[in-house]
Amino acid sequence: MEIYKNPTAPIASRVEDLLQRMTLEEKVGQTNQLVGVEHFRHNLGVMNAGDLFRNTAQAIYVGCEPEDLEAWTQQGRVGSFLHVNTIEEANRLQHLAMQSRLAVPLLFGIDAIHGNAYCRDNTVYPGNLGLACSFNVELARRIARQTAAEMRAMNMHWTFNPNVEVARDARWGRCGETYGEDCYLVTRMGVATVEGLQGKLDSEADVMACAKHWVGGSLPENGTNGSPADMSERTLRTTFFPPFKAAVDAGVATVMPSHNELNGVPCHSNRWLMTDVLRGEWGFDGFVVSDWMDIEHVHDLHGTAETVEDAYRQSITAGMDMHMHGPGWVDAVCQLVRDGVISEERIDESVRRILTMKFRLGLFEHPYADEAKTMQVRLCQEHRRTALEAARQSIVLLKNSGLLPLDAKRVGKILVTGINANDENIMGDWSAQQRAENVITVLDGVRSLASEDAEVMYVDQGWDPRNMNPAMVERAAQAAREADVNIVVAGEYMMRWRWHDRTCGEDTDRSDIDLVGLQNELIERVAASGKPTVLVLINGRPLGIERVAGKVSAIVEAWESGMCGGQAIAEILFGKVNPSAKLSITIPHSVGQLRSYYDHKPSMYFHPYVCAPSEPLFPFGYGLSYTQYAYSNLSLSGEIDADGNGQIDVAVTVANTGKRDGVEIVQLYIRDEYSTFTRPVKELKDFARVELKAGGKKRVHFILTADKLAMLDGNFAPVVEPGGFVVMVGSSSRDCDLLKSRFVVKKK
Ligand code: BGC
């Protein structure tokens, strides 16, 4: 038997054995990713080359037929597919690959961003931004593990997740894919997700993760996706690099560069990012996959390569391993090698990295998934329970003037209205259409939890915020007068299958962050009824709701809460669940406050705005509960010296002084009082979810170590400078919610 076919041979030997059998075309074929045949077939006749240039979700290959893709697969000229959405297609294409000369299996990559939601009949968990509001790292790990299981049950091996960018501009439509604005929280959630997805990356339960987008795209000029990022190396290394570094340390298998240029160099041809930092400094040993046609954009958009071929050269020499996506790559790259422009050794490096992953995933031994068993895993009860639990933990109660929780026995008439009241949009971006019976809308949830005697009135506002009907707004305003309580479910529209109708999500950036369409009017008219009104928001970015925030009695920020979201929201409205989530991202008053984030530098609001507040509407870390918590006795013990030795034990007593059991998310921030380089007014360094019975209290401990105090010196090496540090512990990033104490790092 050939060594590469021997499952007991060491992976490195299998890779070398296979590599030396491959022709140049077969090698480059391994670096070639294409969109799925059915995806392509569906777009034939719908798209043209011009559409392809701008569309980052749908593709066709001009001049090709679906059969060409199949033939190339059989010829060993394709290493991976993306956007294959069914197990049948995955198995079928795999079967073709297994007929190729060397029978090298395909890798199927998919954007399983919150569950394998991009494919039908999978569990749709809450989106990342909402999930981060749970501050529940173990929950993120569990969801990732379950997602991996559902993916492998469909013969999918690789998700383009987690997005570990630090979101810094609410205009950017992709905030919802991230874990929010804080580097530490993003890092913790990102690492748990990588670990959950990958396991040890050595079994059929594991899939490859992809840390993306590397880097700067979450701080785009003007907030538009893919626009230039221009920032200092200090900012990059302090705020934007750490989640990627941590993902690499956690063994992430792949990294995807971002669309944008960074400081004048497109990320897709950026040697500093892809090779010097990633591999040289951090020891990354997985492979780099390009984002959607972004190597081509080095030529046709950024204009730093005169030809596509030169863009390929630049990208490969800078460290690119796999091309997403397109039919011209294989021949062009082979020619570059034949012309001596790129060495074959360089191609070998990439192929080695890709093959190593295929062996680790066990694809040579198990290239298929069992179609008869697939539904035993997908959407199973355990996964649905996790999706519900995650939704409960992700929903943030922002305002409550005593209205919530609603007493199901006492509310006779409930009005439910708003564009998101009864729509699958609650699942969030990166969800395909799912069967209606698998999606619980807010209306479903309210109906199931309201008492049998209650009347639930529903006034349909359609799903499309840009095309709301004034007559239906009027009808809701009238119905509100008859109701005991009104629930308006507003927000954004994110469903990808109506790509041009969305208001939030990828390539859906906004120049303001207000509610779109007649939504403000709807809320105002309903609230003007004088009957108590709850505003529920479903959205993937912070919304500037200042116009209506003062007019409603309660605000529930539900984010993209997944297929069980409606049930979790209703449980919170009716008090079956006590909300515990805290904001993973600041909610500004308006677009004019952007960029708005809690860990700003000391001088940021030295001169505050006139005519408008400088503080945000709701700060990072903020969220209400149906009970109250009291913090006391913050104490510090131990010491840390400037050599980095020692540790500080931070302890605080947290008491549940209200009448309901709850979970409080206790947050620890530090501030370096004086430092060589400026540092933020606060930096989150730890958090804990603390369960507290009504009337109960606990002493909560955190350990501060030197790495948490460190800043980067002039050479970007971590250093702990002597001097005072303030420790702040409490229920949000807001000063009035924090107890403070101080310690001193002594000179050496
Ligand atoms: C996005 C990536 C995604 C890829 C494949 C791109 O447009 O930027 O995040 O993984 O498409 O769907």
CA distance 387 to 152: 19
Question: Ligand 1 centroid vs 93 CA: distance in angstroms?
Answer: 21
Q: Who contacts 433 (Cβ-Cβ below 8 Å, separation ≥6)?
A: 120, 424, 495, 497
Q: Hey, whose CA ends up nearest to atom 7 of ligand 1?
A: 56
What per-residue confidence (pLDDT) applies to 739?
A: 99
Question: Ligand 1 centroid vs 528 CA: distance in angstroms?
Answer: 43
Residue 332 near residue 301 (C-beta atoms within 8 A): no
Question: Ligand 1 centroid vs 291 CA: distance in angstroms?
Answer: 6
Of the candidates 239, 324, 320, 230, the one whose C-alpha atom is nearest the C-alpha of residue 279 is: 320
Which atom of ligand 1 is closest in space to residue 259's alpha carbon?
8
What per-residue confidence (pLDDT) applies to 522?
A: 98
The residue ranges of the chain whose pLDDT is under 70 are none
Q: Who contacts 329 (Cβ-Cβ below 8 Å, separation ≥6)?
A: 28, 31, 32, 312, 323
Q: Hey, whose CA ends up nearest to atom 10 of ligand 1?
A: 160
Kindly list the distances between the CA atom of residue 553 and the CA atoms of 395, 410, 528, 532, 533, in Å, as whole numbers in the listed order.
17, 17, 12, 6, 6
What per-residue confidence (pLDDT) applies to 49?
A: 82
Question: Ligand 1 centroid vs 389 CA: distance in angstroms?
Answer: 28
Of the candidates 618, 543, 695, 667, the one whose C-alpha atom is nearest the C-alpha of residue 135 is: 667
Of the candidates 448, 528, 564, 441, the one whose C-alpha atom is nearest the C-alpha of residue 491 is: 441
492 Cβ inside 6 Å of ligand 1:
no
429 Cβ inside 6 Å of ligand 1:
no
292 Cβ inside 6 Å of ligand 1:
yes
What is the SS3 assignment for 448? helix
Question: Do the strands 554-557 and 533-538 form a parallel or antiparallel pair, or are they unpaired?
Answer: parallel
Residue 443 near residue 519 (C-beta atoms within 8 A): no
What per-residue confidence (pLDDT) applies to 52?
A: 84
Which residue bears the tokens 């909300």? 579
Out of 291, 429, 509, 599, the active site residue is 291
Backbone dihedral region of 130: left (phi > 0), alpha (psi from -120 to 50 degrees) or beta? alpha
Which atom of ligand 1 is closest in space to residue 160's alpha carbon?
10
CA distance 294 to 227: 13
111 Cβ inside 6 Å of ligand 1:
yes
CA distance 741 to 612: 32
160 Cβ inside 6 Å of ligand 1:
yes
Question: Ligand 1 centroid vs 248 CA: distance in angstroms?
Answer: 20
- 291 in catalytic set: yes
CA distance 582 to 549: 18
Q: What is the dihedral of CA 403, 626, 556, 611, to 10 degrees?
A: 80
Q: Six-digit token pair at 430? A: 């990166």
What is the SS3 assignment for 686? strand
What per-residue confidence (pLDDT) applies to 48?
A: 86
Q: Six-digit token pair at 160? A: 């383009």
What per-residue confidence (pLDDT) applies to 95?
A: 98
- Backbone φ and ψ for 162, nearest 5 degrees, come out as -90, 150
Which atom of ligand 1 is closest in space to residue 177's alpha carbon?
9
Which residue bears the tokens 């969030």? 428
- Backbone φ and ψ for 353, nearest 5 degrees, come out as -65, -40
Q: Hey, whose CA ends up nearest to atom 11 of ligand 1?
A: 292
Residue 236 near residue 216 (C-beta atoms within 8 A): yes
Question: Ligand 1 centroid vs 292 CA: distance in angstroms?
Answer: 6
